[in-house]
Amino acid sequence: MVQKITQEYANHGLSLKCDIYTQDDYPKSNPVFLYFHPGGLVDGNRDVIAPWLVQVCIQRKWPLISPSYRLLPQAGGQGLLEDATAAYEFAQNWDTLSSSKRSVIVGGASGGYFMASLIAHHCQPKPFALFSIQGINTFHHPFFNSSIQTAGEEIPHASMEKYIAGPIQVGEMPTDESTFVLDKLTPDGAKDPSFTPPVPAESSSPNDTYRGMLYDYYTFNNSFLGIVGSLDPGYQWAKLPESKDRVAEWPKTVIFHGNKDPDVELNVSEDMRDCLGEDKVTLIIADGQPHLYELEKFIEDDAPGMDAVREAVARLDEIVASA
């Protein structure tokens, strides 16, 4: 039976914890899946995991590690890299064979995939593979530098000031339908039809702001590059003839992305694929699907867009099998 273990993986002024979903009989030679939660790098927490991803890891006997990380703007780009690097080091050394390191598949949803991309850009050895769930792979893309209005209306600075000026923190969110708990699954990892999701807490006011609105605020104000740009090289370098060796060492990457995503447009993923090449990046398009449409879905669900999820997982299986 799968168990959830919580451990501290680093302390960078805050205790940084991760949840590990594993079983005692998982082979130590199997890869680990290191997953960074969504939230635009400004919100979210490590419990925000799609059930289908937990199922995929259970079925393959891959330990799944979901870490907290310090959030923007307080963490800055350097803080994100420190946390990503520490989580990657922890994953490589999780329950290993003597004097060996684990292969690590690094993935993330939405802003969490930016953490995965930092590892691929800055860490050695490179991850075994990358897996993007409608992820942000760079803030150099025009989407993040064109005053795109993702919130529907402009967000005044005054409403965000308490989050910008507040203390450094990791993500904390109330339990809701998007929170993963093991009770969503049966002991063998299937969907538990008897599970009843918690009732979300009612907002105290319909006009309440929340920390996640920083993503919309920073996107509209073209602010992300000013915060993390020094550590975000983008992908245009991959088109240069002298970058052949650098491209060759880039991990095989699997992406699925909805073509009706208003929060991270599909072209963000298309541009990464076009720069690195289709031999490095497989992009699977979920027709008609919005951002994080699969967040509450199970791998066996017959729901719009889930075929794209299953196709992406099948491609990841091919990469693992070919190693």
Chain segment 205-245, per-residue pLDDT in tens: 445 789 999 999 999 999 999 999 999 999 999 999 999 99
Return the amino acid letter for 297. Answer: K
Contact criterion met (CB below 8 Å) for 64 and 22: yes
Q: 182-186, 197-201, 238-242, 308-312 — which is least confidently predicted? A: 197-201
* Percent of the chain scoring above 90 in pLDDT: 90
Amino acid letter, 77: G
**φ, ψ for residue 174, nearest 5 deg:** -65, 150
For position 118, what pLDDT does the model report?
A: 98
**Cα–Cα distance between 179 and 172 in angstroms, integer?**
11
Contact 54, 186 (CB under 8 A): no
> Exposure of 278 by Cβ count < 10 A (0-12 exposed, 13-18 middle, 19+ buried)?
exposed
* Global confidence as pTM: 0.97
User: Poorest-confidence range of 4-18, 183-197, 206-220, 224-238?
Assistant: 206-220
What integer is the mean pLDDT of 118-139? 98
pLDDT score, position 281: 98
Per DSSP, the three-state class of 230 is helix
Alpha helices, DSSP H, located in the chain: 51-60, 76-92, 112-122, 157-164, 213-220, 224-228, 244-248, 266-276, 306-321
Q: 3-321 adopts what CATH topology?
A: Rossmann fold (3.40.50)
Tens-place pLDDT, residues 37-56: 999 999 999 999 999 999 99
Q: Are 54 and 124 in contact (CB under 8 A)?
A: no
Confidence band for 82, pLDDT divided at 50, 70 and 90: very high
Q: Provide the residue ranges of all domains of the chain, joining segments of one domain with +.
A: 3-321
CA atoms of 93 and 123, how far apart (whole Å) = 15
State the angle between helix axes of 157-164 and 213-220 in degrees (0 to 180), rounded to the nearest 10: 120
Task: Tell me the two tokens of residue 307.
Answer: 């075929």
Please give the average per-residue pLDDT across 272-281, as a whole number: 98
- Band of pLDDT at residue 202, cut at 50, 70 and 90: low
Nearest to 40 by CA among 69, 82, 19, 78: 69
